[in-house]
Chain A
């Protein structure tokens, strides 16, 4: 079966620094990916998406990189703020489903 995994379960960064959250996926047929942010007691919040025909996509303070050769996805957050503290999930879309990994907990130190 497919698996979506994250290299680091926890990440602590100093406020103002850049954060990088990594994700590995195993299904080479996956053609669409989403990064979600989930705060305690809330549902996942859409951050940014990328399709498999792209290598990079930028949003406001966030950049997603996709390396299809090694099936790796990363989320870069610039100038990390305390409000960025949350669990981050990558999700891959194959067929009718989004597959989620376990998540990375990001803690921003003021």
Chain B
């Protein structure tokens, strides 16, 4: 596609429910990032993939968060047993190169945990 695509755009989950957020990066992009953005704040790093390898997951806030990119293209961010503090916009970005190259963001998924 022309840009990074994320789905769903909006997700409402009951507390304790598991959710899965999808990211389709720009075709051919090697790097893929997940970020979490709280209202009125800048995006905060969650995890980074280079092709299918998850090279950095230092930003994942707890073991309830899990990300994968099994074929080096589409990525899924899964949150288990959602809590209210997980409510945020989850952003995905991709870049052509492995480092220090332009990173392009998707529209994000707004997760609301009730």
Contact = CB atoms under 8 A, between A and B. Distances in A.
Is the A/B pair a real complex?
A: yes
Interface of A: 4, 31-32, 34, 36, 41-46, 49, 51, 89, 93, 95-103
A100 B56 contact: no
Contact of A93 (B55, B99, B105): B99
B56 A96 contact: yes
Q: Which 4 A-B pairs have the closest CB atoms?
A: A100-B42, A43-B105, A96-B56, A32-B100
Interface of B: 4, 6, 33, 35, 40-45, 48, 55-56, 58-59, 91, 93, 99-100, 102-108
Given A46-B103, A97-B33, A100-B35, 14 more contacts: A31-B100, A32-B100, A42-B108, A43-B6, A43-B108, A44-B43, A44-B93, A45-B105, A46-B105, A51-B100, A93-B99, A96-B55, A97-B48, A100-B42
A46 B107 contact: no
Contacts of B6: 43
Contact of B59 (A49, A89, A93, A97): A97
A101 B12 CA distance: 28
Contacts of B107: 41-43
Contacts of B56: 95-97
A93 B48 CA distance: 13
Contacts of A96: 48, 55-56, 99
B103 A98 contact: yes
A100 B44 contact: yes
Nearest to B98: A96
A94 B61 CA distance: 20
A6 to B, nearest CB: 9
B3 to A, nearest CB: 9
B91 A44 contact: yes
Contacts of B55: 96
